[in-house]
């Protein structure tokens, strides 16, 4: 029997024979024997390159099935450094608060997957860019793509300021911003070669997440690339409401919808199936060991101590490199906080 996943390959005698993709283990730790009791091996490969495919054998031949393995793959530190540096260059305050923790997993993965397309002349749409995402202007600088950002709120106008900062006047002819609701926006169908939807879909209330997938998938050209990322807590699908205004929705008496944690079934039923797109690759990410994001970065500090955050917030990418990893298994935790770093990245294409 020979089985494969995003990360690896197992051969007939039950041992891992290959780790796929853009990683090259320089130092590896195979803890299979220690974990035999729970029939799960944790395999940590450190250091990644764009090219290598490496053969590795676990010392314990009994626990080599990918089914029984949890592969934890680290963030590509080179790409993370690039996108962090770009983020820091966009405005002075970014140096103080560091790139958002879960973006430290999402953006390097997405950039590495899109990199083979950098040399082509493509049209690109970023859905829900917000006022902070460094991705549109990173791609503006790294490619010759025509870049279009859409967001419901006018904080997305900051992206124009970043584009001017990055490229000067030359940015304007291939960078545009639209303040509009994706659900009603007049955008031409089958127009974009690449679409990114990064941590946005979980904020669409009711069943509008499915509607958004239908609408946005129509915008993609056949053969195009659609990148979807969202929050994931397998087995614990949940909609979270808050008692304050959020994303333009005012709080009056009723709680306001904030965001949703998907599980694998909901991801497939609510997002992937309605899109009509074909899945090419899926990877999960999060704090698989110590809950750094929830226990440290999201920890409620008493008033006077809040200022202490300034001492470590700038270092978010360094913490992400230490605690945040990818896996072929979703995180599943009954006690997950509303604000979490557990998610999924799905690469899709239009047949
Ligand atoms: C969590 S932020 C993600 C921002 C960005 N993609 C990033 O990577 O940092 C979600 C964004 O989605 C936008 N959004 C929510 N609903 C939307 C809709 N119906 N149409 C367009 N944008 C929407 C919000 O305004 C917000 O800027």
- CA 17 – ligand 1 centroid, Å: 41
* Per-residue pLDDT reduced to its tens digit, 232-255: 999 999 999 877 777 766 766 678
Whether the CB of 154 sits within 6 Å of ligand 1: no
- CA 130 – ligand 1 centroid, Å: 5
- β-strand partners of 282: 346
- CA 316 – ligand 1 centroid, Å: 21
Considering only CA atoms, which residue is closest to atom 10 of ligand 1? 200
pLDDT recorded at residue 44: 40
The per-residue b/e assignment along 244-282, b for 16 or more CB within 10 angstroms, e otherwise, is eebeeeeeeeeebbbbbbbbbebbeebbbebbebeeeeb
Whether the CB of 102 sits within 6 Å of ligand 1: no
Q: Where are the domains of the chain?
A: 3-74, 77-349
The atom number, within ligand 1, closest to the CA of 100 reads 9
Of residues 35, 44, 37, the one with CA closest to residue 16: 44
- CA 54 – ligand 1 centroid, Å: 38
- β-strand partners of 16: 10
Residue indicated by tokens 């031409």: 188
pTM of the predicted protein model = 0.85
- The rounded percent of the chain whose pLDDT value lies above 70 is 77
What is the 3 state secondary structure string of 144-168?
CCEEEEEECCHHHHHHHHHHHHHHH
pLDDT recorded at residue 15: 42
Q: Number of H helices and number of E strands within the chain?
A: 12, 16
Whether the CB of 229 sits within 6 Å of ligand 1: no
Q: How confident is the model at residue 7 (pLDDT cuts 50, 70, 90)?
A: low
pLDDT recorded at residue 144: 95
Q: Which residue has the higher pLDDT, 20 or 136?
A: 136
Per-residue pLDDT at 43 exceeds 50: no
pLDDT recorded at residue 29: 40
Whether the CB of 129 sits within 6 Å of ligand 1: yes
Q: Which residue has the higher pLDDT, 165 or 33?
A: 165
Q: Which residue has the higher pLDDT, 27 or 229?
A: 229
Of residues 192, 345, 219, 233, the one with CA closest to residue 280: 345
Assess contact for 267 and 210: CB atoms under 8 A. no
Which residue among 104, 187, 200, 212 has the greatest number of ligand 1 atoms within 8 angstroms of its CB, and so is best to mutate? 200
Of the candidate ranges 56-65, 212-221, 265-274, the one whose mean pLDDT is the lowest: 56-65
Whether the CB of 197 sits within 6 Å of ligand 1: no
Per-residue pLDDT at 307 exceeds 80: no
Per-residue pLDDT at 184 exceeds 60: yes
Q: Which top CATH class is 77-349? A: alpha beta
Contacts of 185 (CB under 8 A, 6+ apart): 150, 178
Query: CA angle 123-229-53, nearest 5°?
Result: 85
Q: How many Cα atoms within 13 Å fall on the side-chain side of residue 257? A: 14
Whether the CB of 182 sits within 6 Å of ligand 1: yes
d(CA 51, CA 103): 23
d(CA 351, CA 336): 36
């Amino acid at each position: 029997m020979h089985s494969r996943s995003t990360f690896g390959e197992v051969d007939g005698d039950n041992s891992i024979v290959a780790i796929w993709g853009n990683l090259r283990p320089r130092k590896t730790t195979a803890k299979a024997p220690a974990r035999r009791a729970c029939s799960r091996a944790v395999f940590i490969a450190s250091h990644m390159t764009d090219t290598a495919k490496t053969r590795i054998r676990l010392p314990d031949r009994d626990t080599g099935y990918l089914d029984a393995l949890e592969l934890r793959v680290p963030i590509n530190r080179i790409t993370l450094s690039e996108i962090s540096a770009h983020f820091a260059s966009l405005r002075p305050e970014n140096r103080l608060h560091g790139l958002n923790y879960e973006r430290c997993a999402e953006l390097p993965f997405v950039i590495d997957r899109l990199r083979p397309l950098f040399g082509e002349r493509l049209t690109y749409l970023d859905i829900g860019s917000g006022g902070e995402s460094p991705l549109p202007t990173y791609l503006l600088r790294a490619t010759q793509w025509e870049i279009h950002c859409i967001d419901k709120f006018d904080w997305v106008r900051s992206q124009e300021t970043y584009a001017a900062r990055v490229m000067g006047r030359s940015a304007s002819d291939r960078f545009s911003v639209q303040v509009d609701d994706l659900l009603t926006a007049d955008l031409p169908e089958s127009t974009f070669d690449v679409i990114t939807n990064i941590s946005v879909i979980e904020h669409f209330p009711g069943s509008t997440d499915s509607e958004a997938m239908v609408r946005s998938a129509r915008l993609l050209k056949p053969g195009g690339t659609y990148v979807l990322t969202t929050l994931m807590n397998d087995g614990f699908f949940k909609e979270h409401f808050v008692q304050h205004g959020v994303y333009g929705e005012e709080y009056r008496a009723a709680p306001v919808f904030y965001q949703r944690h998907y599980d694998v079934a909901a991801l497939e039923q609510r997002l992937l199936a309605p899109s009509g797109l074909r899945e090419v690759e899926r990877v999960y990410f999060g704090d698989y060991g110590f809950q750094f994001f929830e226990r440290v970065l999201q920890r409620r500090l008493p008033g006077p101590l809040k200022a202490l955050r300034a001492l470590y917030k700038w270092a978010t990418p360094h913490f992400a490199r230490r605690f945040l990893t990818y896996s072929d298994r979703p995180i599943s935790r009954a006690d997950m906080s509303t604000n979490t770093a557990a998610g999924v990245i799905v690469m899709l294409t239009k047949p």
